[in-house]
Structure 1
Amino acid sequence: MATRRFLGWPAVRQFASGDWLGRGPAVTSPRTESLKPRTSTADRVVQSVCPYCAVGCGQRVFVKDEKVVQIEGDPDSPISRGRLCPKGSASEQLVNSTGRQTEVLYRAPRATEWQRLDRDTAIDMIADRFLAARRKGWQDADEQGRQLRRTMGIASLGGATLDNEENYLIKKLFTAAGAIQVENQARI
């Protein structure tokens, strides 16, 4: 048995098999040989775009049983040619994180506890407050009578997890609402 263990050492296997650089099967353990990549078990592959910045790197999203199992760079993307930055490489965690918030939570002013809301109620609350702040801060003209048609009651600060299309639509929405303070974290 001692001889068998000795022959099982990677260095001995390496020299016995002629794998001088130790990059072949001589240094592969049985456990490593039994492993399969998550991508080989996927039901389908979906092309997507990384959500983090405005570069628009292509991603290949591997899905098994309607759950994302792996995200890799898309080699067919003319922008990233299969490469992803560290944030893009970790975007699978954005989808599958156990800490991901999936419910709307609301904490009333001066309250100490959060309460769950359904989405329709939350959207109505946001819309009502948005319109009230727009109305309250509206400036139709300045002191000299020059037309302004703007509001100082609302502003937007976008995040880098939004893609180009989302940021474009947010900019259009806030500009149409009369807001002049529209900024994005990626530019700051």
Structure 2
Amino acid sequence: MGDRWFPGSWPALRQLRGTDRLGRGKAAQSERSAELRARTVRADRVVGSICPYCAVGCGQRVYVKDEQVIQIEGDPDSPVSRGRLCPKGSASKQLVTSPLRETTVRYRRPYGTEWEDLDLDTAMEMITDRVLKTREQFWQWEHDGLRVRRTMGIASLGGATLDNEENYLMKKLYTAMGAIQIENQARI
């Protein structure tokens, strides 16, 4: 049992008998807690990032050790969030490190009954091929005698998690592809 269970070592008694009346220092520490160090101390480097969950754009510090994310915290230098994160942002390390994270693309072929896993490169090639085919199939040079240079076969509906810069890039991308039906969920 040792002195761990001796009543004089109980935190409440240490707090009342000692100078740490508020219990914020040694009175609240155990042997184990006195030896604890923050995970961030072990990091090889710190990378600035932005929380991916909403359009607020809270700043994050991503702590990396051996090329693995070991902690994500709010960035106190961020003018947006000043080091604070909501519960979703605080849990964003799980988004990166969870063993349940999907690393493949699930795909079901037309008229298929089973799903299959595709690697990301294969899925991206399939998307590229389909975009080019759709653009070519529905391309219009003219409409009612006016030059329009557009495709009616591609449309975009952006989401509220996109920030202004991402929406700007989406608009540029779809406009360059000839799409004119570009909308954002925030306006609907």
TM-score (norm 1): 0.82
Match of 1:78 in 2: 79
Question: Deviation of residue 73 (structure 1)?
Answer: 1.5
Match of 1:168 in 2: 168
**Residues 88-107 of structure 1: matches in 2 within 5 Å?**
88-107=89-108
**Residues 131-142 of structure 1: matches in 2 within 5 Å?**
131-142=132-143
Identical aligned residues as a percent? 66
CA contact (8 A) 2:55 2:161 kept: no
Match of 1:121 in 2: 122
Partner deviation per Cα, 1:34-81 (whole Å, 9 max, x = no partner)? 322111111211222223334433221111111001111122223322
CA distance 1:75–1:94, change in 2 (3 Å): same
User: What letter corresponds to residue 77 of structure 1 in structure 2?
Assistant: S
CA distance 1:102–1:185, change in 2 (3 Å): farther
Separation in structure 1 between the aligned mates of residue 93 and residue 187 of structure 2, nearest angstrom: 25
Superposition RMSD on alpha carbons, in Å? 2.7
Question: Deviation of residue 14 (structure 1)?
Answer: 0.8
Separation in structure 2 between the aligned mates of residue 102 and residue 161 of structure 1, nearest angstrom: 21
Match of 2:88 in 1: 87
Larger RCO, structure (CA 8 Å, separation 6 or more): 1
Residue ranges of structure 1 left out of the alignment (5+ in a row):
none
Separation in structure 1 between the aligned mates of residue 20 and residue 172 of structure 2, nearest angstrom: 62
Q: How many residues align?
A: 187
Separation in structure 1 between the aligned mates of residue 13 and residue 49 of structure 2, nearest angstrom: 46
Select between 177-186 and 11-20 the one with higher mean Cα deviation: 177-186
Separation in structure 2 between the aligned mates of residue 187 and residue 91 of structure 1, nearest angstrom: 27
Residue ranges of structure 2 left out of the alignment (5+ in a row):
none
Separation in structure 1 between the aligned mates of residue 177 and residue 68 of structure 2, nearest angstrom: 38
TM-score (norm 2): 0.82
CA distance 1:94–1:187, change in 2 (3 Å): farther
Separation in structure 2 between the aligned mates of residue 167 and residue 41 of structure 1, nearest angstrom: 37
